[in-house]
A = this chain, B = another copy of it.
Amino acid sequence: MMQDPEFIRGDSEEAPGLTILQRGPDNLEPAFSSALGSSLTPADRFYVRSHFEVPRIEAASWRLAIEGEVDRPFEIGLDELREMPSETRMALLECSGNGRIYLESIQIGIRWERGGVGNAEWTGVPLVALLERAGIRPLAVEVILEGADEGDFKPPQHETPGKIRYARSLPLAKARKEEVLLAYRMNGEELAPRHGYPVRAVVPGWYGMASVKWLRRIIVTDRPFHGFFQTMEYAVWERQHGLPTLVPVSEIQVKAQIARPAPHEVVPKGTCYRILGAAWAGESDVAKVEFSDDSGQSWATAKRLGDPIRYAWQFWEHDWHVPNTPGRRVLMARATDSRGQSQPMERDTDRRDAAISHVLPIEVEVR
A contact residues vs B (CB 8 Å cutoff): 67-68, 103, 105-109, 144, 146, 153, 155-162, 164-165, 167, 217, 219, 221, 223-228, 231-232, 235, 237, 240-241, 243-247, 347, 349-353
Contact status A244-B228, CB under 8 Å: yes
- Given contacts A224-B224, A231-B231, whether A244 and B164 have CB atoms under 8 Å apart is yes
Instruction: Name the residue in A146, A226, A232 with the highest tally of chain B Cβ atoms < 10 Å from its Cβ.
Output: A226
Contact of A227 among B68, B146, B164, B245 (CB under 8 A): B245
Contact status B246-A227, CB under 8 Å: yes
Instruction: Name the residue in A106, A109, A146, A161 with the highest tally of chain B Cβ atoms < 10 Å from its Cβ.
Output: A161
Contact status B158-A352, CB under 8 Å: yes
Q: How far is the CB of A279 from chain B (nearest CB, A)?
A: 25
Q: Which residues of B contact A235 (CB under 8 A)?
A: 231
11 A-B pairs with C-beta separation under 8 A: A68-B241, A106-B159, A144-B243, A146-B243, A156-B156, A159-B352, A161-B237, A225-B240, A226-B231, A227-B245, A227-B246
Contact status A226-B241, CB under 8 Å: no
CA distance A300 to B160 in the complex (A): 34
Q: How far is the CB of A360 from chain B (nearest CB, A)?
A: 16
- Given contacts A224-B224, A231-B231, whether A158 and B243 have CB atoms under 8 Å apart is no
Q: Which residues of B contact A223 (CB under 8 A)?
A: 240
Contact status B226-A247, CB under 8 Å: yes
Residue in B closest to A220 when the chains form the complex, CB atoms: B241
Contact status B231-A144, CB under 8 Å: no
Q: Which residues of B contact A349 (CB under 8 A)?
A: 159-162
Q: What 7 A-B pairs come out closest when comparing CB atoms?
A: A158-B352, A226-B246, A159-B349, A231-B246, A226-B245, A108-B157, A161-B350
Q: Which residues of B contact A165 (CB under 8 A)?
A: 243
Instruction: Name the residue in A153, A157, A235 with the highest tally of chain B Cβ atoms < 10 Å from its Cβ.
Output: A157
Contact status A161-B228, CB under 8 Å: no
Q: Which residues of B contact A161 (CB under 8 A)?
A: 237, 244, 349-350
Instruction: Name the residue in A246, A347, A349 with the highest tally of chain B Cβ atoms < 10 Å from its Cβ.
Output: A246
Q: How far is the CB of A7 from chain B (nearest CB, A)?
A: 14
Q: How far is the CB of A216 from chain B (nearest CB, A)?
A: 12
Q: Which residues of B contact A160 (CB under 8 A)?
A: 105, 349
